[in-house]
Structures are given as C-alpha cells and as structure tokens.
Chain A
C-alpha cells in the first residue's frame, strides 16, 4: 500500500474513499479521493460500475483521472482506476492520469501493463460430457488398476526369482524389521479382536439355536466358521489396515522426496530393498497371525460356551473335535499367504504411484487399504467356492 505522505496518520474522513465526475471545458474529469485499497474495493467497484461512461459529443473531448486526492493506493485501487480509464477510452474518450506522485505513477503504469494480460478460464466441460467423462475414467481406472497390479505381480515374481539366484541382494535386516512391525506388534490387537468376535458369534449362535434345543451345535458352527473364514479374514483385514497403509505411506513419502529416484541412480533397486522384504515379511507373518487369530476365536467361543452352555474345557474340546479336523484348519490357513501377497502388492504399488503432493499421498494410502480389503474378500469368496467344489 502506497501512502501519499509516509508517517502521517490520516483522519477517518480523509481515508473514506470516493470519487466524482466533473466536466471542465472539453475534459471529463474523474476526481478520486481517500483510501483506494483492497479493503474498499468492493464498494468502489460497485459504484464505478454504476457510473455512466460519459459519451463525448465531439471527438476533441478527453478524459482525465485525477488521483491527487488519493491518500492511499494499492494494487486493487490501481486496478480499479485502470479499469475505469480503459472503459472511458473504449467509449471514445482519450483518458489519461493526472495528479500522480512518482510512486503512484509506477504502480498505476505497472498495473496498466498487466491488465492487458487477460485471465484464462479453466476448461469447463458440460454436465453430460462431465458425467460420461467421469464414467469412462472410472471404468478405465479399474482396467488400468488390474493391468498395473498384474504387471507389478510379474515384477515382484521376477525380483524373487533373482533373489533366489543372487541371495546376497536380499536385505535380511529390513525383512526382520518388517516381521517385527507387521507381525509381532500386530499380535495384541489381532488377538483381542478375534477373541471378541469369537465370543460374540458364539453367544449369538447359542441364543438362535436354543429354541430348537440345538444350542450345543453352536460350538460346531463356531469351530468351522473360525477356522475356515473368520480367523483369516479378520487377520487379513487388520493387517491391510495396519501394514498395507504403512507400506504405502513409507514408500510414498520416499517417492515424494525423490528418494526412490536417488536409489535408482545409485544402482540400488527399490524392488530389492523396499518391495521384496515387505512382501516376504507379510507372507511369513500373516499365516502366523492367522493361527493366533484362529486360536483366540476358539478361546472367545469357549468363554461364551462356559457362560451360556456351562461347558467346561474338556467338554468344549470334545465337541470341537467331533466336527473340526485338520482340513478345516488348512482350508483357512492356505488363504493366508495369498492374502498377504495381495496386501503387500497393493500397499507397495500404491506407494510407488504417489506423486508430488501430500494430497496424493493421502489418496493412495486410502485406496491401498480399500483395494487390499476388497481384493482379500473377493479372493476369499473364490477360495470358498473352490474348496467346497473339491470337497474340503
């Protein structure tokens, strides 16, 4: 903001902005007064727009914008003055400025030069076009995702193949770190969740089956359900939320700070150092966590069996043994490494897809979790159908 006289505190009456138009001889004069700043811009703009542009009766009439009454001027004020002068010039009045100080003149000239560069509007496609474009993008996105994930699976397989041939490339420290973070530290929460869900399922089953006198079969139901589906699904979903998102965030923030590019230029393959240890750690850890989950589910069910059916441990175990055998356990367990692979692939791939902005990081972390859980459930359904079909 430029002041006509530095250091003088202006009384409010002088600061109030305003203007009037006078005709003197053949000169239409706009006398601007007060403080022409961005704070007053809305009022001034309204008044200036309502102001009729004087129509010169003969060509020798000229316009003049007299700013000698202006106490304070900033870019917005200069822009308003320039706009008015341009409108007057457009209607045939040759308009110039008068009463400018050196600093006012520099600002008004500078703004005048810049006003000539016209704003560019963002392209706004029509609603229908917008909608169809959005649909095409969404469908194309699914196709694109599937393609990327498949090719990433190929790249990871290739990496594992190379690691078998050249085992010294493997990073044991990183591998152990991820076993610790994704595995050991996930045990308490997974144990707790599975215990609670096991208990809830048992309790609900007993309540529903009791009118038929079949409440003892609640144990059978829980046994099958826990080992085949609930244990592995709950564990996979928890791990996708905990570790899948962490993978994306870690790799994504490295991508944002160009660390991944730096690794490539140093001859360090990010697939070896970042992706392989993470995915391998998950593949090792998820079956173990699933085992913990299975057991805790059965324990939770046992607690409810004691409370609602009065079964002691021996009776509960006997009832379980009557229906559950090793193949049920395996039917659940076999899914765990596949779920781990999906979670690891999606987490790492989304991390590598992160681009410059913080917003993009957040978007990819969210989509990593959503996609991982979605794919895990889809694969679980396919497995369930397949295993039933082959009679396990």
Chain B
C-alpha cells in the first residue's frame, strides 16, 4: 500500500479551562479511510478535541489541518465548503426537536445544495434505510424515537451530504449491548460502503476491538500512544493503558 494520506493533522495543541490544563502539545494524525478510536479517562478532553477539530472550540495554541487546510484560517465561504465534507454525530444525536426525522436529514441538503424536494425526499429515505431505520420513522419527531433510533437518525443526518470524514461522539454510549453491537456493525459497513474516514470518541471496549483500525490514547495532557488495539494490549507501556486494556472488563471484551 502506498504512503497513506493524512486527512486530519493536529499539531502542538494546548487548551486550558480555568485552572485546569487539558492538553499541552498534543499531536495527532488521522489517515484517510481508517476508523480511529479516541480513548482516555474522564476529563482528558476527548470530546473537546473533537470540538476543536470541527472548529466549535478555539484552542489556546496549536494548529489543526483538515484536508491539508488550517481550519482556523479559512474564509467563511471556505468553512461552509469544509463543513459539507465532514459530518458530526453528537452524543444524543442532537436532532432538531422541532423538525421531523426526514426534515432533520434534509437540513444539510437544503443548506449546501439546491435540490428539488422530491429528490431530497428520496435521498433522505435512502439515508434512512442505510442507517437501518424503517421508513415509517421518517415523519416522527425526535422525541418519539428511542435513544438508539435517535443516534441512527443523527448518523443519517451526518451522512446526508456523503461526507469524507464522520466524527462520532460516543456512538454506543447508552445503548444496550445488542444495540451497541448493531451500531458497531453499521459503522463498519458504512465505512466500507462510503469509503469514510471515521473519528470516534468512545469508552466502549467492544467497539474498539470490533471496529477500530487504530486507537489514540489521551492521557497526561497529550496523546501518549497510537496503534492498533491488539498492539496496545500486547505492549501496554503506560499505566493508564495497562489499566484500561488489561483490566477485567478488557479481558472479557477481548476474549
């Protein structure tokens, strides 16, 4: 395989909230077409890193390059174009509660493209089917859906424009094991189907071993290790990694 293309490149990131220093000099690369899992203890800034990369939170220092462009140096027009190339699934889906599921999926289409309503409907139903939701949930309101369905609908919205990168914030949190494993398979399948690059913040050991190509471990205010999950299990050379990947729960997940 040829030299892998770096699609997200984070350099020298620092961030402080009040008296709490979250990172000093954090570096991270994400390659095209991989599923990268971000793990780390509470308060290590896993979700904040996602927000920094997508431009929702300003870092104190450092640069973030996506598709080779510094996210913070884009003109507003370029930012809009950039946003069409990635999709974000927030923790609880973050569906707009005043819109139906179908309308939610069509929001990015309306914003970025000029499509006739009939085509938007058909495409939205297609996305809905691709994330495994039944067509009859299309006209429901988000509050009428279960947690797992809301996540699927949120994923459908994130995929509305066929983005190149999808950011997932704890996609399996709050799902039962069966629902979580279905969601893992869904992510895997969509990644293969659409050639996605997946950036996934997660706690779930099952998810890590089942779908992640590579894992980046956040600890000590930086990324301490990256590598395939299996290699981290074999060579846990950091106390937190040892505890996380070689603890009782990890053995159960790995077995």
Say whether, besides A2-B195, A42-B114, A122-B139, A75 and B127 are in contact (CB < 8 Å): yes
Instruction: Tell yes or no: A60 within 8 A of B by CB.
Output: no
Distance between B105 CB and nearest chain A CB, rounded to angstroms: 12
Binds A, one of B115-123, B172-180, B222-230, B237-245: B115-123
List B contacts of A103 (CB < 8 A): 192, 195
List B contacts of A356 (CB < 8 A): 97, 141-143
Instruction: Tell yes or no: B248 within 8 A of A by CB.
Output: no
List A contacts of B122 (CB < 8 A): 79, 119
In the complex, which residues 132-146 of chain B have their Cβ closer than 8 Å to any Cβ of chain A? Answer: 134-136, 138-139, 141-143
Instruction: Tell yes or no: A13 within 8 A of B by CB.
Output: no
List B contacts of A115 (CB < 8 A): 126
**A122 to B119 Cα, complex, angstroms:** 16
Say whether, besides A6-B5, A114-B130, A74 and B32 are in contact (CB < 8 Å): no
Interface string of B152-187 (1 = CB under 8 A from A): 000000010110100000000000000000000000
**A107 to B127 Cα, complex, angstroms:** 12
Instruction: Tell yes or no: B80 within 8 A of A by CB.
Output: no
Q: Is the CB of B115 within 8 A of A42?
A: yes
List A contacts of B136 (CB < 8 A): 120
Distance between B124 CB and nearest chain A CB, rounded to angstroms: 8
Distance between B108 CB and nearest chain A CB, rounded to angstroms: 10
Closest B residue to A74 by CB, please name it.
B162
Say whether, besides A6-B5, A119-B138, A45 and B119 are in contact (CB < 8 Å): yes
Interface string of A63-75 (1 = CB under 8 A from B): 0000000000011
Interface residue count for B (Cβ, 8 Å)?
37
| Residue in A38, A106, A110 whose CB lies within 8 Å of B161 | A38
Say whether, besides A2-B194, A2-B195, A75-B194, A37 and B98 are in contact (CB < 8 Å): no
Instruction: Tell yes or no: A136 within 8 A of B by CB.
Output: no
Instruction: Tell yes or no: A321 within 8 A of B by CB.
Output: no
**A358 to B95 Cα, complex, angstroms:** 11
List A contacts of B127 (CB < 8 A): 75
Closest A residue to B122 by CB, please name it.
A119
Interface residue count for A (Cβ, 8 Å)?
32
**A212 to B143 Cα, complex, angstroms:** 66
Instruction: Tell yes or no: B74 within 8 A of A by CB.
Output: no
Q: Is the CB of B123 within 8 A of A38?
A: yes
List B contacts of A122 (CB < 8 A): 139
Closest A residue to B190 by CB, please name it.
A110
Instruction: Tell yes or no: A387 within 8 A of B by CB.
Output: no
Closest A residue to B97 by CB, please name it.
A357
Instruction: Tell yes or no: B125 within 8 A of A by CB.
Output: yes
Distance between B188 CB and nearest chain A CB, rounded to angstroms: 12
Instruction: Tell yes or no: A7 within 8 A of B by CB.
Output: yes
Q: Is the CB of A1 within 8 A of B164?
A: yes
Tell me which of B116, B134, B161 has the highest count of chain A C-beta atoms within 10 A of its own C-beta.
Answer: B161
Distance between B246 CB and nearest chain A CB, rounded to angstroms: 36
List A contacts of B129 (CB < 8 A): 114, 117
In order of increasing CB-CB distance, the 4 nearest A-B pairs are A356-B143, A357-B97, A74-B162, A114-B129
Contact surface of B with A, Cβ cutoff 8 Å: 2, 5, 32-33, 97-98, 109, 113-116, 119, 121-123, 125-127, 129-130, 134-136, 138-139, 141-143, 159, 161-162, 164, 189, 192-195
17 A–B contacts from the bound complex (CB under 8 Å) = A6-B33, A42-B119, A45-B119, A75-B130, A106-B192, A106-B193, A115-B126, A117-B129, A117-B134, A117-B135, A119-B121, A119-B125, A119-B138, A120-B135, A356-B142, A358-B97, A359-B98
A-B contacts besides A117-B135, A358-B97, 7 pairs, CB < 8 Å: A38-B162, A39-B113, A74-B162, A75-B194, A110-B130, A120-B136, A356-B143
